[in-house]
Structure 1
């Protein structure tokens, strides 16, 4: 009875969140109006190679991004992950995370991601080619995730993220909340996942560079200038809700073949339909592939690897090498085709002990 109540309560909560998110659906007028878009940069080579489709079975540190419910599904007491990726527009992303099993309490994880924009030339109206000075924006996201096995079939997880953005002397900060559920059926061969991401406070840039001195209108020439602050508009976070299924078509001691699919609803962009697959041999070598179709909710049109949706098919591989009886080293790689930019590549190194 308690298990059924837990499942009913979690399902009801996420159903309400789903209805609320769809009610805030992104029309063409809302598209591109959200900020803090670094929250949408994917983390974890395994699931990215599968098109981001496996929110129902994703586990370990990378689950902190896709579905925090999977954070409790680590095979070791402690797992650490480091990833580096070449993002579009010559932007590099560094991510580090760690999760620890705390027994009956559950699992607790911490992660930090940073964007590297490189040095950007300072330009002004008087020096459009540059003043000789440079600046480097600083974008940081710190996350804390808690996950627990509610029953032998239900996992729940939640993440709180602190977002910090600074450009020269202007900065903005905010809080975002993620939550997710994973439910196993058919002897864990069929899994259901639900995740809500980036629900939080609005953000607004502020700083001393927004203050300028101007001569008040209607005053005589040569009158003293007065300070004037340029007000900036608040922006919302890119909230998402995603539902997915994963099924182990083959699950033997030497071979595991998994197929997965999900539907992603974006408040400020196209909805996405994702498909992915993974083939694992002897728990040591994995090959993965994925495909994503984006749907314009206004025109009911689908896009992939086009001007309207720049991302296309993805693929990758993984190696799991046991250092000893309790320690495992994993190397994962993902490659996603993109239009206009160099293709998206993500490297992930994790250690479990």
Structure 2
């Protein structure tokens, strides 16, 4: 079993290396925005630190941030739940995950996670206007649009080194827009982590490493119901295939024991997108923005967090550009095997996004037996 695990890990490492070498050549062939709901994140602890956890994440939430961190789940299974609402509760986002160590973690750790992002009660106006141009408000109906993703994760130690781990996600995506269209997709993520004895942590996460694709099926009959003077007002898109641009995240973290009961953790990330964006550093091939997060803990029971992310050049009304960032803050409380976390993003309206209140719960079964 160990030999099979080692061969699997070596293959994952080879895929990561070949991806990093060849990505700049392929970057121009992808769509800029695709499966954006999978870029929201998961876990209020991570949000509170400005999403800066790729190097230090070590629990069930590794399934999203860096699957390599699952190797730290060894004693028993863990589970996590999160609920968030966006745009004044118009959009709702749910996340659930479980991590299960195999033979005490000696044969690796597996994880399963489910994501849902949905907007309900959208007005369907495709039949609002008849062929003669008459408006009939009684023909307005409502529909929902929802995005789903199911991920399976696996992580293990590389070269039998307990401080060096690698992991991967395989994800299936399903998206639907009422009766008008639906899509299925598939993709892979991969990550690495390295931990030193003096509590330095290093992490690499490549999201959509093989490109995640969606194949859309459009119900043109439903979409084309709105006509005027014999002409269709809603035309189906010609391109039925989406390819998601990969993203690369590099992180380094340091854990300090300030006193016997007070701890401090800081992590800095470099976030890369392989397209031209408004990030702090941008080119036609790759863009990069830095981010930083910190966490204080008292007796590993009470947590206080802060961080920033999304450092960008934002266009102002007078045509000038201003560097902006999104601040985040959060708190957490842990009692035995239950951890409750809360995060508040975009404090002080420093970005164009609305305030978001995020809650998550984590259950660690091993803690109940100690």
Instruction: Give the TM bin, normalised by the shorter chain.
Output: 0.7 to 0.9
Distance 1:140 1:204 in 2: 14
What's the counterpart of residue 157 of structure 1?
Answer: 167
Structure 1 stretch 73-82 or stretch 273-282: which is displaced more? 73-82
What's the counterpart of residue 333 of structure 2?
Answer: 319
Instruction: Identify, as 1 or 2, the structure richer in helix.
Output: 2
Q: Contact between 2:9 and 2:156, CA under 8 Å: does it hold in 1?
A: no
What's the counterpart of residue 193 of structure 1?
Answer: 203
Matches for 1:49-88 after TM superposition, within 5 Å: 49-74=48-73, 76-88=75-87
Unaligned runs of 5+ in 1: 215-221, 223-227, 306-311, 323-327
Distance 1:44 1:213 in 2: 41
Unaligned runs of 5+ in 2: 130-134, 280-287, 314-320, 366-370
Q: Contact between 2:309 and 2:327, CA under 8 Å: does it hold in 1?
A: yes
Q: Contact between 1:189 and 1:247, CA under 8 Å: does it hold in 2?
A: yes
State the Cα RMSD in Å: 3.2
Sort the Cα spacing of 1:201 and 1:293 in 2 relative to 1 into closer, same or farther, 3 A.
Answer: closer
Please state how far the C-alpha of 1:166 moved relative to its aligned partner.
0.7
Distance 1:292 1:86 in 2: 19
Give TM-score, length-normalised by structure 1.
0.80
Sort the Cα spacing of 1:198 and 1:281 in 2 relative to 1 into closer, same or farther, 3 A.
Answer: same
What's the counterpart of residue 317 of structure 2?
Answer: none
Sort the Cα spacing of 1:313 and 1:120 in 2 relative to 1 into closer, same or farther, 3 A.
Answer: same
Distance 2:136 2:239 in 1: 23
Distance 1:230 1:149 in 2: 45
Is 1:256 aligned with 2:255? no
What's the counterpart of residue 119 of structure 1?
Answer: 121
The DSSP-based 3-state class of the residue aligned with 1:118 is strand
Please state how far the C-alpha of 1:209 moved relative to its aligned partner.
2.9
Please state how far the C-alpha of 1:242 moved relative to its aligned partner.
0.7
Sort the Cα spacing of 1:120 and 1:10 in 2 relative to 1 into closer, same or farther, 3 A.
Answer: closer
What's the counterpart of residue 334 of structure 1?
Answer: 343
Q: Contact between 1:25 and 1:266, CA under 8 Å: does it hold in 2?
A: no
What's the counterpart of residue 140 of structure 1?
Answer: 148
Give TM-score, length-normalised by structure 2.
0.77
Distance 2:322 2:94 in 1: 32
Shift >6 Å, 4+ stretches: 5-12, 211-214
Distance 1:7 1:145 in 2: 13
Please state how far the C-alpha of 1:236 moved relative to its aligned partner.
1.6
